[in-house]
Amino acid sequence: MKNAIKFFFLTVFILTFSLSSSITAQQQEPVPVKASQVKGNIYEVEGGRGANAGFFIGEKEVLVIDAKMTEESAKQMIAEIKKLTSNPIKYVILTHSDGDHVNGLVGFPADVIIAAHHQTAKDMDAAFKDAKLRSYLPDFTFSKKLKLHSGDKTVKLFHFGPAHTSGDVVVYFPEEKVAFIGDLLFLGRDPLIHRHKNGNSFGLVKTLKSILKLGADTFIHGHGSIASPSDLEGVIKSLEEKQTKIKALIKEGKSLEEIKKIFNVEDRPPRPGRSRRPGLVETIYLELTEKK
| Site for Zn ion, rule CB under 5 A | 98, 183
Task: Provide the minimum distance between the beta carbon of 40 and Zn ion in the complex, in angstroms, as a whole number.
Answer: 27
51 or 57: CB nearest Zn ion: 51
Query: Strand pairing of 113-117 and 140-142?
Result: parallel
123 or 183: CB nearest Zn ion: 183
41 or 95: CB nearest Zn ion: 95
Task: Provide the minimum distance between the beta carbon of 232 and Zn ion in the complex, in angstroms, as a whole number.
Answer: 17
62 or 193: CB nearest Zn ion: 193
Q: Report d(CA 17, CA 24) in Å as an integer.
A: 11
Task: Provide the minimum distance between the beta carbon of 254 and Zn ion in the complex, in angstroms, as a whole number.
Answer: 30
Task: Provide the minimum distance between the beta carbon of 270 and Zn ion in the complex, in angstroms, as a whole number.
Answer: 17
Task: Provide the minimum distance between the beta carbon of 165 and Zn ion in the complex, in angstroms, as a whole number.
Answer: 7
Q: Report d(CA 30, CA 177) in Å as an integer.
A: 30
153 or 194: CB nearest Zn ion: 194
Which candidate, 174, 172, 64, places its Cα nearest to that of 114?
Answer: 64
CB neighbours of 57 closer than 8 A, spacing ≥ 6?
41, 43, 81, 84, 85, 87
